[in-house]
Amino acid sequence: MPVAILKKRRLIPGQTSELTLDASHIARKARPGNFVILRVSEKGERIPLTIADTDPQAGTITIVYLVVGKSTAELETLEEGDSILDVCGPLGKPTHIEPCGTVVCVGGGTGIAAMHHIAKGHKAAGNRVITVIGSRCEDLLLFKEELSMFADEVVVTTNDGSCGMQGFVTDGLRMVLDREPSVGEVVAIGPVPMMEAVANLTRPYNVKTTVSLNSIMIDGIGMCGACRVVVGGEVKFACVDGPEFDGHQVDFARMRQRLAAFKPQEELSWAEFRRLRGQEA
């Protein structure tokens, strides 16, 4: 059943948008860490996206996406009042949230939106929440205001120094870890190389590190195994065993290889989409 887009916010024009969806049946069940799988059109593929926020009273969920290929580009063509053909969820295990003192939530790029929901959950559980967010430059920074509304501290890093510290999120995180003696957990969501870098950084600090893995998925309900990841030497399904795992146990090298499995087809598909759009315009 199609799900209506109640609100669209262009966070980075042409690249990243936030959609508020009319989906009370998902909103009442969704917890931080859950994701949905959506399909834009009849011939579309199923794409997983983490839930960035929910409002159970209003019956809405919020998703944020980065245009990386045909399917997200097609999603970007939808406006307020349009509908998404299929939205399935909530999927995945919710984030394990328990009182543990100070939690550092690290987000990079679009991952900041996904991290937002989890940071909010940690705050609600009574934890002190420090967020570290990063992007290439200030214009590409997401959710700074939203996080400031509840987080105890928001550390900002940009590669060019246009906002906050100059450097990567790992530089911001290192500063926090050196300063704070009792961090209970680090949560990191973002591109795979970023999550890997965070896991490598926190290992010597011996602090629990949770990452959220964005594997290729088809059904998202444990049926296909496309999303297999190797964690601690064992094969796990990101869709039903995760998507969150112990970052110190994840085999990121295999993860990167599996993410590249359909690269040529993805490029072909996107090129074809742009060619057709170009003809229309």
Q: Which tokens belong to 98?
A: 């328990």
Give the span between the Cα atoms of 41 and 23, in whole angstroms: 18
Closer Cβ to other proteins, 100 or 230, answer by number = 230
Count of residues touching other proteins (by CB under 8 A): 41
What does the buried/exposed string (b/e) look like for 41-70 if buried means 16 or more CB atoms within 10 Å of the residue's CB? eeebbebbbbbbbbeeeebbbbbbbbbebb
Compute the least distance from the CB of residue 115 to other proteins, in Å. Answer: 22
Compute the least distance from the CB of residue 12 to other proteins, in Å. Answer: 24
Residue 131 sits in the site that holds other proteins (CB under 8 A): no
- Cβ contacts of 10 within 8 Å, gap of 6 or more: 16, 17
Closer Cβ to other proteins, 101 or 225, answer by number = 225
| DSSP 8-state class, residue 149 | T
Q: Among residues 1, 182, 279, 281, which is the contact residue for other proteins, using CB under 8 A?
A: 1
- Cβ contacts of 34 within 8 Å, gap of 6 or more: 50, 51, 89, 90, 91, 92, 94
Compute the least distance from the CB of residue 198 to other proteins, in Å. Answer: 23
Residue 260 sits in the site that holds other proteins (CB under 8 A): yes
Compute the least distance from the CB of residue 132 to other proteins, in Å. Answer: 31
Contact assessment for residue 60 and residue 120, using Cβ atoms and an 8 Å cutoff: no
Give the span between the Cα atoms of 231 and 280, in whole angstroms: 46
Mask for 218-257, x = binds other proteins (CB under 8 A) = xx-xxxxxx-x-x----x----x-------------x--x
Q: Is the bond preceding residue 264 a cis peptide, omega within 30 degrees?
A: no
Mask for 41-60, x = binds other proteins (CB under 8 A) = --xxxx--------------
Q: Among residues 86, 138, 153, 171, which is the contact residue for other proteins, using CB under 8 A?
A: 86
Residues that bind other proteins (CB under 8 A): 1, 25-26, 29, 39, 43-46, 70-71, 85-91, 218-219, 221-226, 228, 230, 235, 240, 254, 257-258, 260-262, 265-266, 268-269, 272
